[in-house]
Amino acid sequence: MSKVRVLVGTRKGAFVLTSDGKRQRWDVSGPHFGGWEIYHLKASPADPNRLYASQSSSWFGQVIQRSNDGGQTWDTVGNKFAYEGAVGTHLWYDGTPRSWEFARVWHLEPSPTDPDTVYAGIQDAALFRSSDGGQTWQELAGLRTHKSAPLWQPGAGGMCLHTILLDPSRPNRIFIAISAAGVFRSDDAGTTWQPMNRGLRSEQIPDPTAEVGHCVHRIAMHGSRPDVLFMQKHWDVMRSDDAGESWREVSGNLPTDFGFPIDVHAHEPETIYVVPIKSDSEHYLPEGKLRVYRSRTGGNEWEALTKGLPQRDCYVNVLRDSMAVDSLDPCGVYFGTTGGQVYVSPDAGDSWAPIVRDLPSVVSVEVQTLP
């Protein structure tokens, strides 16, 4: 019988939640790396026992952990993320130039085909790749040295490269997203990059339709249709049908179109999920209600999913890397909150139940579907 393994990164450690395919009874292990911030853990699609974790703290910096046995044991691997060549400047919050400086790894994206190849998105925004299982890291410097980079500015969480999408049908195509620069695409395996922000409109920047400067919170793709992308921007839920060349708004009837995560159903490429948040100045749920919104039409028409979720006095947030789907049938949907809850829906969002209620604040959630 199939199993699922949920990898949860929190402000104070990592937790691994496991269940059978019914997704009703759960075992919880952790905290792993207790006391450290775990921004992200992710498994290799090519070897489900190979996991990577980003472990960091303000005191002791960045550590990368690797497991070869599905998270039972871990070993430290390389943690040297050195920008390649001259380090230029980007814009600081006050608009003055500031040198690039490594802070942490936000996101680890293992290759779909090689367990030893993994990409890292870091703050200050840059993309690194390892082809030796994380022992050494090389910057794909064409991104950070893009001609627009001196104009990039940090979002509230820092100038982070937080999303990495690898096109399963074109091995040389990579999408990344940076807060607050926007989406970039490479068609040559990361050597050169083009901004992919046409159609975005952000009132928070001097030119609302500028080529770069947009605070993109998350982009998502269904592997069967890699030219269709969905985006949760700072404000606005967006869609592209041409691999990012142009975007159109699909916020439709959402109660608010501010939010962080967005994800796609494992078997229905037009079914997508978001968690609307009240506003960029409040960062909590509207009306004290925890509602996931689902669109079965690829956007514009949304329905609130509330069964099993608190509908009063709930003021948590759901961060950008904190939603995931499994590949069982029916598709399971998972998300974690800043209040330490991790919820599962084993029926594609129709009903929800907490797996755990009292973890540290959740930063990331990933799911593995295992045989």
Stretch that binds another protein, among 79-87, 260-268, 306-314, 316-324 (CB under 8 A): 79-87
Task: Check residue 79 for interaction with another protein (CB under 8 A).
Answer: yes
Give the nearest distance from C-beta 36 to another protein in angstroms.
7
Identity of residue 43? A
Stretch that binds another protein, among 55-63, 182-190, 282-290, 308-316 (CB under 8 A): 55-63
Bond from prior residue into 124 cis (ω within 30 degrees of 0): yes
| CA count, 13 A, side-chain hemisphere, 126 | 27
Spatial contact of 257 and 265, defined as CB atoms under 8 Å apart: no
Task: Check residue 73 for interaction with another protein (CB under 8 A).
Answer: no
177: nearest Cα among 140, 142, 227, 212: 212
Q: Could you tell me if residue 2 is left (phi over 0), alpha (psi between -120 and 50 degrees) or otherwise beta?
A: beta
Give the nearest distance from C-beta 14 to another protein in angstroms.
14
**Residue 2 contacts by C-beta under 8 Å, 6 or more apart in sequence?**
20, 21, 328, 369, 370, 371
Give the nearest distance from C-beta 338 to another protein in angstroms.
16
Spatial contact of 158 and 115, defined as CB atoms under 8 Å apart: no
Task: Check residue 141 for interaction with another protein (CB under 8 A).
Answer: no
What x/- string results for residues 3 through 42 when contact with another protein is judged by CB under 8 A?
Answer: --------------------------------xx------
Q: Is 288 helix (H, G, I), strand (E, B) or coil?
A: helix
Stretch that binds another protein, among 58-66, 201-209, 236-244, 342-350 (CB under 8 A): 58-66
What x/- string results for residues 212 through 241 when contact with another protein is judged by CB under 8 A?
Answer: ------------------------------
Instruction: Name the residues that contact another protein, by CB under 8 A.
Output: 35-36, 57-63, 76, 79-80, 82
